[in-house]
Amino acid sequence: MLIGVYFCKVGKDGKIIIPLKLRKKIENKIFIFETKDYLYLYSDEEKFKKFLEKIKSNDQKRAFLASIVERKIDKQGKLKISDFKNFYLEEDKKIVIVEKNDYLEIWSEERWIKQVLEKEEGRKEEYSLP
């Protein structure tokens, strides 16, 4: 089970160093795909296949499979993520790696903080007293 949050930076080579504690939990082969706000990373191939089975439409599955990139963590514990066009990573950009049970998410630190604050604001309103 993957549970945790890590704050990192993108290096000059467009790679991030996967924290050692996290590396011990995941496999070397990573499947990466991009959403509008963050990157999904699956390291367990069986769980990734189960995720893919949930996509019913062949057209959606075809488009989705075409967007997936398979990567390996190198000997130094680095993973290249610089070529995801919607993620706009620059050197020294701060990112957040979030463990979400079966997969990982990589967020820009700005977007992560913004979405956390928005959720907290929603909780405050939900539980506010008169």
Q: Quick one: pLDDT at residue 130?
A: 47
**Number of domains forming the structure of the chain:** 1
- For residue 111, what are the CA distances in angstroms to 35, 37, 42, 45? 13, 7, 21, 28
What predicted TM-score, i.e. pTM, was given to this entire model? 0.79
Residues 6+ apart with CB under 8 A from 29: 43, 45, 70, 71, 72
Residue recorded with tokens 């790679």 = 15
- What domain range is 52 assigned to? 2-126
Kindly report the CATH number assigned to the domain that includes residue 24: 3.40.1550.20
> From first to last of its 130 residues, what are the pLDDT tens digits of the chain?
567 899 998 888 888 999 999 888 888 889 998 887 888 888 888 988 888 888 888 888 888 888 888 999 999 999 988 777 555 556 668 889 998 888 899 988 888 888 888 877 665 555 444 4
